């Protein structure tokens, strides 16, 4: 099934349909694999927040997954640091500690609920949990993607959204972000095709890019709990390795300057492949990195490389 709609009639966001026994939902021009929201209970909300917190740390820079028990130490270090570069990292570590403290508090709230103790939204534990999430969200602007390319606020803010929003609304917000991610994947792929694939040295590259972009969209829409991930993810990785292995055909008599330009073009192709993998893995847009990459490719496209 094509991810983007091929119908001439307008479709409403949220429209669902089944194709080949798989249910899809339409958002922002794309058909996305649909997953029904969990029942909105404290226990399910805790599982969702735990999963989103792990995901946030997985896609962000190393060394910031600070235990909640170290919150006071992380805050003290952040407040004392004067070097701007180090202070940014301290801010990220403090944000990590706040996230973990919030999940620790929410775990305690769920445990109390399972014992029959009802914790209201105005309860001190609930307020502390909310305050930790909110501060972590603010400090999250200092947190970078693990590639170092840019911040990744969309992923960092998701545990707080899951804490404050009805679960069904949170799922809807995720479908929208996945559609936006698919659009960025296509933008990067289209840019690569336009800039490189008309050049004589890159014969055969276009098909590889198209296949990889399709696999990336499938990876972005497939949840890790879905058994299909065991086919989708290996295919995505394998196609990425094939794209990375692509070598332009360089004439034996090519001058050194031409060889250098072709080598730079290949580096740009690999950079685009990595960017697509970051977007598909995080399942959120990376607009700054995408814009920077497209500008690089456009500059190269104005060169005289045949």
Do 115 and 183 fall into the same domain?
A: no
- In the numeric block, the tokens 């950079």 are attached to 271
Write out the two tokens for 57.
């740390």
Q: Domain containing 181: what range? A: 176-301
Write out the two tokens for 235.
């295919």
Q: What is the pLDDT at residue 5?
A: 44
Query: Which of 156, 167, 104 lies closest to 134, judged by CA?
Result: 156
Q: What is the pLDDT at residue 153?
A: 74
Do 223 and 150 fall into the same domain?
A: no
User: What's the pLDDT tens digit per position in 156-210?
Assistant: 888 888 888 999 999 999 999 999 999 999 999 999 999 998 888 898 999 999 9
| Structural contact between residues 276 and 244, judged by C-beta atoms closer than 8 angstroms | no
Q: Is the residue at 34 inside a domain? A: no
- Decide which of 105, 140, 164 is a domain's last residue: 164
For residues 290 and 292, give the distance between their C-alpha atoms in angstroms, rounded to a whole number: 5
Do 221 and 261 fall into the same domain?
A: yes
Q: Is the residue at 3 inside a domain? A: no
Do 145 and 180 fall into the same domain?
A: no
Q: Is the residue at 36 inside a domain? A: no
Q: Is the residue at 31 inside a domain? A: no
Q: Is the residue at 49 inside a domain? A: yes
Q: Which run of H or of E encompasses 139?
A: helix 124-139
Question: What letter would DSSP give residue 145?
Answer: B
| Structural contact between residues 22 and 245, judged by C-beta atoms closer than 8 angstroms | no
Say yes or no to pLDDT of 69 above 60. yes
Do 202 and 157 fall into the same domain?
A: no
Mean pLDDT of the chain, nearest integer: 90
Q: What is the pLDDT at residue 252?
A: 79
Do 159 and 196 fall into the same domain?
A: no
Domain count within the chain: 2
For residues 151 and 185, give the distance between their C-alpha atoms in angstroms, rounded to a whole number: 18
Q: Is the residue at 95 inside a domain? A: yes
Do 297 and 181 fall into the same domain?
A: yes
- In the numeric block, the tokens 């600070």 are attached to 66
How would residue 91 be classed by pLDDT, with cut points 50, 70 and 90? very high
How would residue 250 be classed by pLDDT, with cut points 50, 70 and 90? confident
Q: Is the residue at 15 inside a domain? A: no
- Decide which of 135, 164, 193 is a domain's last residue: 164
How would residue 305 be classed by pLDDT, with cut points 50, 70 and 90? low
Question: What letter would DSSP give residue 123?
Answer: S
Do 180 and 154 fall into the same domain?
A: no
CA 244 from centroid of its chain's CA atoms: 21
Q: Is the residue at 287 inside a domain? A: yes
Q: What is the pLDDT at residue 123?
A: 81
Q: What is the pLDDT at residue 187?
A: 97
User: What's the pLDDT tens digit per position in 10-45?
Assistant: 789 999 999 988 999 999 999 999 999 999 988 898
Q: What is the pLDDT at residue 152?
A: 76
User: What's the pLDDT tens digit per position in 215-229?
Assistant: 999 999 999 899 999
Do 219 and 287 fall into the same domain?
A: yes
Q: Note the pTM of the prediction, 2 decimals.
A: 0.87
Cα–Cα distances in Å, from 49 out to 27, 34, 44, 62, 130? 24, 20, 9, 20, 13
- Decide which of 141, 164, 187 is a domain's last residue: 164
Helices (H) and strands (E) in the chain, counts: 11, 3
């Amino acid at each position: 099934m094509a991810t983007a709609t091929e119908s001439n009639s307008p479709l409403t966001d949220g429209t669902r349909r089944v194709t080949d026994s798989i249910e899809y939902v339409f958002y922002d021009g794309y058909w996305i694999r649909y997953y029904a929201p969990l029942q909105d209970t404290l226990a399910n909300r805790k599982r969702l927040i735990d999963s989103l917190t792990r995901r946030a740390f997985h896609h962000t820079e190393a060394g910031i997954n600070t235990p909640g028990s170290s919150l006071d130490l992380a805050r003290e270090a952040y407040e004392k640091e004067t070097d701007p570069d180090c202070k940014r990292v301290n801010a990220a570590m403090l944000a990590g500690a706040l996230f973990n403290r919030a999940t620790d508090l929410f775990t305690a709230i769920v445990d109390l609920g399972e014992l029959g103790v009802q914790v209201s939204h105005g309860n001190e534990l609930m307020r502390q949990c909310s305050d930790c999430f909110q501060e972590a969200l603010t400090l999250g602007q200092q947190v970078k993607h693990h590639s170092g390319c840019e911040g990744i606020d969309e992923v960092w803010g998701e545990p707080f959204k899951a804490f404050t929003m009805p679960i069904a609304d949170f799922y809807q917000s995720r479908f929208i972000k996945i559609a936006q991610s698919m659009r960025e994947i296509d933008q990067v792929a289209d840019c690569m095709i336009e800039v490189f694939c008309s050049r004589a040295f890159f014969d055969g590259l276009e098909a590889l890019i198209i296949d990889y972009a399709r696999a990336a969209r499938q990876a972005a829409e497939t949840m890790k709990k879905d058994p299909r991930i065991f086919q989708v993810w290996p295919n995505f990785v394998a196609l990425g390795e094939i794209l990375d292995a692509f070598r332009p055909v360089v004439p034996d008599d090519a001058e050194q300057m031409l060889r250098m330009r072709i080598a730079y073009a290949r580096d740009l192709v690999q950079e685009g492949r990595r960017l697509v993998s970051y977007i598909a893995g995080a399942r959120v847009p990376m607009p700054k990195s995408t814009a920077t990459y497209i500008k690089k490719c456009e500059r190269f496209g104005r060169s005289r490389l045949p």
